[in-house]
Amino acid sequence: MAASLWMCRLRPRGLKGALKSLENGCITPQSKHSNSSAAVRSEVDQRKDQTDTTAERKPFYVLQEERLEQAERSVLINCPPKTNEKKFLKHLSSHGEINTCFFYESFGTYAVVEFSKKESIASLQDGTIIPSIQHEATVPFKSRLVSLKLNNPDDLSSVSSSIQCLRQSAIPINELVQKLSSADTIDQQLYTLTETYQLTEDNVRLRFLVCSLLKDIAAAYFPECTVKLFGSSVNGFGKLGCDLDMFLDLDGISGRNSKKTAGPFTLEYQMKRVSSERAATQKILSVIGECIDQFGPGCVGVQKILNARCPLVRFAHQPSGFQCDLTANNRIAIKSSELLYLYGSLDARVRALVFTVRCWARAHAITSSIPGAWITNFSLTMMVIFFLQKRDPPIIPTLDQLKGLAGASDKQLIEGHDCTFVSNISRINTTENTETLEQLLKEFFEFYGNFKPSVLNNMIHITEGKEQSKPDISPLHIQNPFEQLLNVSKNVNQTQLERFVSLARDSAWILQQDGMSHPLGAGAQPWGLAALLLPSASQTGGKGKKRRKREPASERIKSLLESLKNSKPNSVNGNGKRNFSTQSH
Ligand code: GTP
Ligand code: MG
């Protein structure tokens, strides 16, 4: 499609009937309480709602600032398991008006409490005591992670039998498969998967709160620093339970943007000098990592991984249950997150397809939480984006087209890389493409299932939305959108790529079979997407796996075929409905 099709068309769009559940990449309290039939809306409605909401979506950086400010007014409180919620809130409101409060479980019961004003935090901290512990000592670092103690444990009026704890983790895959099996269409299945797995409103709040707690620790050294979130916590593609990618931003301090003062003199700070930007980043992260380890309440298993391409400190934040990666000097990664957020905001099908492909890849161990030669979620997302750019007409614009729509304030050069692209979503035209998610899912698997050696000589390039010749011999080359000399899938080896291609081919084939596009029975029989998510033997691991690397998928197909064959006339049950094998292989 010609670039001009995406060109600027500023137009007013109303707020009516906004689909809150897909807004800003997380569900809101409204949709959280909706029942499942309401949650599974018709594709047409969803597409329409999506069209209505894009204009109301705030630019990425505005949303981040709002969330961070919200987090600065919040505290995390470890509560006794049967805290009386009413009394608890009454007690806390002596420090000021409370905006929101919710409870969750993670090695204990916790409450996230957001006050209306930041002064309430100072008041609460003023009234918080340092614990006196026998035989041990404490490091007196005052944070916004506190514990609620009952002054009189025998006072039964301070306890109640039930606090409603909100879930912060994704449902197991077998429950998801069941849920998907009761949908009516493959499109509904993809939307249901997205709604089930995406980050909830309270999970996003908790993520920003942990980020803000980290900032308090880093501020002990660098009072003007900020800690920002990037990656799937904010790019709209985060699944409940995904890691927390943080970035220590010292730009406010480093004087990158400072101007010389007028007059005859300028004062400058005396600072230690190091050999490179990378060395400075390593030193800063080393010190902050030490602080997190020594003083950070709830932070455990701190590892300083300073020699990585992107140095980082990795740790677990026990009170939230998040696995955290803290980096520094990583502004390009934030731009990548903003770009993905923008793509996910343009059309509801983008997020639905990315969530689905990520889930499918995880179910078949194409991706892994352990670093290695596997395809990463980030690479998979780029593959989906590339595929959607290549549809006819395209569903999303290329990065070059987004650059063409950028305004003066969008111009950004980071470390010599042009990271300019439009931030105002309403400047981007909606697509004319009306393909269903079912079609797109099938085509996605066909597209990548047909990755042939000749195609493999090409690299995936979302800047132009078309293949280009690979500059190296790595099996899969996905060009980093902003650091164009980097390959985001450099880690992927031939075996892993072949597994991906082979599974994509098998999945395309499965979806073409009779009975795969619609539910055939009243029971929770896996069909469509649900059938594609059935765990394969490849995950059972064990010896001999290498020799039989294509066997698991073929076995699964064999079984599905069997069940399809068996479900033909003679296996139609009493209700006129067919049966499928639900066994995993
Ligand atoms: P999850 O698997 O849900 O955590 O997805 P994620 O997108 O958060 O991926 P991950 O935590 O691995 O990385 C966080 C962010 O770092 C990504 O969203 C990218 O912006 C960036 N990133 C990840 N991998 C690469 C890479 O290989 N190259 C570059 N340049 N950036 C990467
Ligand atoms: Mg991540």
Phi and psi, residue 226, nearest 5°: -125, 155
In this structure, the number of other CB atoms found within 10 A of the CB of residue 27 comes to 25
Ligand 1 binding pocket mutation candidate from 199, 237, 378 (most atoms within 8 A of CB): 378
Q: Which ligand 1 atom is nearest residue 490's CA?
A: 27
Nearest CA to ligand 1 atom 28: 488
- 262 Cβ contact list (under 8 Å, min separation 6): none
Looking at residue 455, its pLDDT comes to 57
Nearest CA to ligand 1 atom 12: 378
Q: Which of 45-49, 149-153, 334-338 has the highest mean pLDDT?
A: 334-338
User: Is the pLDDT reported for residue 493 higher than 70?
Assistant: yes
Q: Among 148-152, 177-181, 204-208, name the one with the lowest average pLDDT.
A: 148-152
Map residue 126 onto helix, strand or coil: helix
Average pLDDT estimate for 448-465: 78
Under 8 Å between Cβ of 440 and 431: no
Instruction: Tell me the pLDDT of the chain averaged across its residues.
Output: 82
Nearest CA to ligand 1 atom 17: 231
Looking at residue 296, its pLDDT comes to 94
User: To 10 degrees, what angle do helices 331-346 and 348-363 make?
Assistant: 110
Map residue 112 onto helix, strand or coil: strand
Map residue 304 onto helix, strand or coil: strand
Question: Which ligand is closest to the CA of 239, given by its number?
Answer: 1
Question: Which ligand is closest to the CA of 379, given by its number?
Answer: 1
Looking at residue 153, its pLDDT comes to 74
- 38 Cβ contact list (under 8 Å, min separation 6): none
Question: Which ligand is closest to the CA of 477, given by its number?
Answer: 1
Q: Is 330 in the pocket of ligand 1 (CB under 6 A)?
A: no
Residue-wise pLDDT tens digits, 363-379: 999 999 888 999 999 99
Q: Is 337 in the pocket of ligand 1 (CB under 6 A)?
A: yes
Centre of ligand 2 from the C-alpha of residue 219, in Å: 24
pLDDT band at residue 474 using 50, 70 and 90 as cut-offs: confident
Looking at residue 259, its pLDDT comes to 67
User: Is the pLDDT reported for residue 540 higher than 80?
Assistant: no
d(CA 102, CA 113): 7
Residue-wise pLDDT tens digits, 25-70: 443 333 333 333 333 334 434 444 443 444 457 889 999 999 999 9
Average pLDDT estimate for 204-215: 97
d(CA 7, CA 366): 37
Q: pTM (2 decimals)?
A: 0.84
Q: HEC string of 142-160?
A: CCCEEECCCCCCCCHHHEC
Question: Which ligand is closest to the CA of 419, given by its number?
Answer: 1
Q: Which ligand 1 atom is nearest residue 232's CA?
A: 8
Q: Is 297 in the pocket of ligand 1 (CB under 6 A)?
A: no
Encoded tokens for 386? 């590339």
Nearest CA to ligand 1 atom 24: 378
Q: HEC string of 444-492?
A: HHHHHHCCCHHHHCEEECCCCCCCEECCCCCCCCEECCCCCCCECCCCC
In the block, tokens 């499965």 appear at 510
- 541 Cβ contact list (under 8 Å, min separation 6): none
Question: Which ligand is closest to the CA of 381, given by its number?
Answer: 1
User: Is the pLDDT reported for residue 16 higher than 70?
Assistant: no
**Cα three-residue angle 532-533-535, rounded to 5 degrees:** 115
**Amino acid identity of 352?**
A
Phi-psi region of 123 (alpha: psi -120 to 50; beta: other; left: phi over 0): alpha
Nearest C-alpha neighbor of 195 from the set 325, 301, 38? 38
User: Is the pLDDT reported for residue 314 higher than 70?
Assistant: yes
d(CA 155, CA 158): 6
Q: Is 109 in the pocket of ligand 1 (CB under 6 A)?
A: no
Centre of ligand 1 from the C-alpha of residue 185, in Å: 32
Q: Is 474 in the pocket of ligand 1 (CB under 6 A)?
A: no
User: Is the pLDDT reported for residue 569 higher than 70?
Assistant: no
Sign of CA dihedral 387, 393, 395, 399: positive
User: Is the pLDDT reported for residue 126 higher than 80?
Assistant: yes
Looking at residue 395, its pLDDT comes to 98
Say which residue, 563 or 573, is predicted with more confidence.
563
Q: Is 394 in the pocket of ligand 1 (CB under 6 A)?
A: no
Nearest CA to ligand 1 atom 2: 377
Q: Is 308 in the pocket of ligand 1 (CB under 6 A)?
A: no
DSSP annotation of 109 reads: E
Centre of ligand 1 from the C-alpha of residue 379, in Å: 8
Centre of ligand 2 from the C-alpha of residue 231, in Å: 5
Looking at residue 534, its pLDDT comes to 87
Q: Is 232 in the pocket of ligand 1 (CB under 6 A)?
A: yes
Average pLDDT estimate for 323-338: 94
Q: How far is CA 556 from CA 506, 510, 533, in A?
A: 9, 10, 11
Q: Among 158-172, 325-339, 381-395, 500-514, name the one with the lowest average pLDDT.
A: 158-172
Centre of ligand 2 from the C-alpha of residue 233, in Å: 7
What b-and-e string marks burial along 329-342, b requiring 16 or more CB atoms within 10 Å of the CB? bbbbbbbbbbbbbb
Q: Is 336 in the pocket of ligand 1 (CB under 6 A)?
A: yes
Q: Among 155-159, 225-229, 244-248, 566-570, name the one with the lowest average pLDDT.
A: 566-570
**Cα three-residue angle 73-74-77, rounded to 5 degrees:** 155
Centre of ligand 1 from the C-alpha of residue 83, in Å: 39
Q: Which ligand 1 atom is nearest residue 482's CA?
A: 30
Centre of ligand 1 from the C-alpha of residue 489, in Å: 11
Q: Please state whether the peptide bond connecting residue 393 to the residue before it is cis, i.e. omega within 30 degrees of 0.
A: yes
DSSP state letters, 53-92:
HHTTPPPHHHHHHHHHHHHHTEEEEEE-TTB-HHHHHHHH
Average pLDDT estimate for 264-290: 92
In the block, tokens 């509560």 appear at 79
Q: Is 62 in the pocket of ligand 1 (CB under 6 A)?
A: no
Q: In what order do the strands lie in the sheet with 312-317?
A: 226-230, 244-249, 322-328, 312-317, 299-305
